[in-house]
Amino acid sequence: MTTEEMKRRAQEYERKALEKFPLKLIEVPGEQALAKWQELKSAGQGTPVILGGDETDRLGNLLTPFGPDIPGTPPLQAVEDIVRLADGISFPNDLAKRKKEDEEFFLQQFKAQFGANPNMTLPKVVEMNEGGTRTLSKEEILAAMENQPDEPPLGDWPATPEPSAGLTVVRDILTGKPFSKVHIGIAPTDDWTTIPAYLRWGGWNECPAPEYHVAALRSWRDRYGAELIGMSFDTINLRVAGRPRTREEALALARDQYVYCADIIDQGFQSYSALAADLMANDWWYFWWD
């Protein structure tokens, strides 16, 4: 296939996906995105959400659920069905239970495969210690897989919280510069918590399924006045009207957020206390999933 043919097919895929995309789209410079979001919100003609910029192909990934139909694939789940599922979810307890059940299911599957084929190749796991590194044996790898994952450390309360990440979807995460062009989607609803349902957002890797996002957003809306401002293919930006008032409350919220998005600690704050201090100091919440 020639480069020109690949480009033509990509354009045709995007055209067909945009025909089914459930949000009306407008484009603005990244530095103007938040002000435009506020203007659109005040207009009362649907609910806006900033969807990121073309520089990282963020809209392209958001189009994936709406691409051309592939024979044998199930139809898109209806927005109403996703919202109905969300109505029956107790967040975060049901999400924690679901994640544990999934982990146990995949572990049992893996053990069955290993039992049928003891010589199957296992991933290489290297342990670091003061004496250097050591590659774990098959027996040690299997034992480690059966152990419950470690909780993040409580950690020391930081003297100075991290600076707020702010609205990350409008700028390059490495340079900090705003994107030259950012997309804002307008959802045909006055309930912003249902936007993940409209976008069929989630259900890949460690990212929860759409109904769990709806349930989480509703919980934080009711408790902290949270509001969805930005989404990209792997990121959510929330802004809150009220912060946790005590360290105890902030730590409880940090634990809830870890259930929802482990990467914010595992690849970010590194401890519950560091995240809790950020939640007490800033109005912006940042979540991302690999």
Q: Is the sign of the CA dihedral 67, 69, 70, 76 positive or negative?
A: positive
Q: Quote the distance between the C-alpha of residue 199 and its chain's center.
A: 13
Does residue 122 have a pLDDT over 90? Answer: no
Amino acid, single-letter form, for residue 43: A
Least confident of 9-18, 197-206, 211-220, 261-270: 9-18
Asked, for residue 128, whether it belongs to a domain, the answer is: yes
Asked, for residue 12, whether it belongs to a domain, the answer is: no
Angle (deg, nearest 10), helices 210-224 and 79-87: 60
Does residue 38 have a pLDDT over 60? Answer: yes
How far is it, in rounded angstroms, from Cα 202 to Cα 180?
27
Specify the DSSP class assigned to residue 190.
S
More confident residue, 205 or 265: 265
Q: What is residue 275's three-state secondary structure?
A: helix
* pLDDT band at 201; cut points 50, 70, 90: very high
More confident residue, 9 or 94: 94
HSE-CB of 205 using CA atoms within 13 angstroms: 9
* pLDDT band at 4; cut points 50, 70, 90: confident
Does residue 59 have a pLDDT over 80? Answer: no
pLDDT digits (tens, 9 = 90+) for 129-178: 666 677 877 677 777 666 666 789 999 999 998 888 899 999 988 888 99
Kind and range of the H or E run holding 248? helix 247-260
The number of distinct structural domains making up the chain is 1
Asked, for residue 200, whether it belongs to a domain, the answer is: yes
Q: What is the mean pLDDT of residues 206-234?
A: 97
For residue 121, the model assigns a pLDDT of 75
| Percent with pLDDT over 70 in the chain | 91
92 contacts: CB under 8 Å, gap ≥ 6: 216, 219, 256, 259, 260
Amino acid, single-letter form, for residue 74: P
| Residue 40 zone, left/alpha/beta (φ > 0; ψ -120 to 50; rest) | alpha
For residue 178, the model assigns a pLDDT of 93
Asked, for residue 235, whether it belongs to a domain, the answer is: yes
Query: At residue 111, what are phi and psi to the nearest 5 degrees?
Result: -65, -35
Cα angle, residue 40 at apex, residues 18 and 222 outer, rounded to 5° = 100
For residue 137, the model assigns a pLDDT of 76
pLDDT digits (tens, 9 = 90+) for 104-116: 887 788 777 777 7
Q: Is the sign of the CA dihedral 30, 35, 278, 99 positive or negative?
A: negative
Does residue 40 have a pLDDT over 70? Answer: yes
* pLDDT band at 270; cut points 50, 70, 90: very high
Asked, for residue 166, whether it belongs to a domain, the answer is: yes
Q: What is the mean pLDDT of residues 21-32?
A: 95
For residue 7, the model assigns a pLDDT of 83
pLDDT digits (tens, 9 = 90+) for 62-120: 999 998 877 777 889 999 999 999 999 999 999 999 998 988 887 788 777 777 787 77
Asked, for residue 4, whether it belongs to a domain, the answer is: no
Asked, for residue 7, whether it belongs to a domain, the answer is: no
Range of the domain at 279: 17-67+76-290
Does residue 125 have a pLDDT over 90? Answer: no
Asked, for residue 2, whether it belongs to a domain, the answer is: no
For residue 155, the model assigns a pLDDT of 97
Q: What is residue 221's three-state secondary structure?
A: helix
How far is it, in rounded angstroms, from Cα 218 to Cα 225?
9
Specify the DSSP class assigned to residue 40.
H
For residue 238, the model assigns a pLDDT of 98
Average pLDDT of the chain is 90
Q: Which two tokens stand for residue 40?
A: 């659109």
Does residue 56 have a pLDDT over 60? Answer: no
More confident residue, 127 or 153: 153
Q: What is the mean pLDDT of residues 17-31?
A: 94
Q: What is the mean pLDDT of residues 178-207?
A: 96
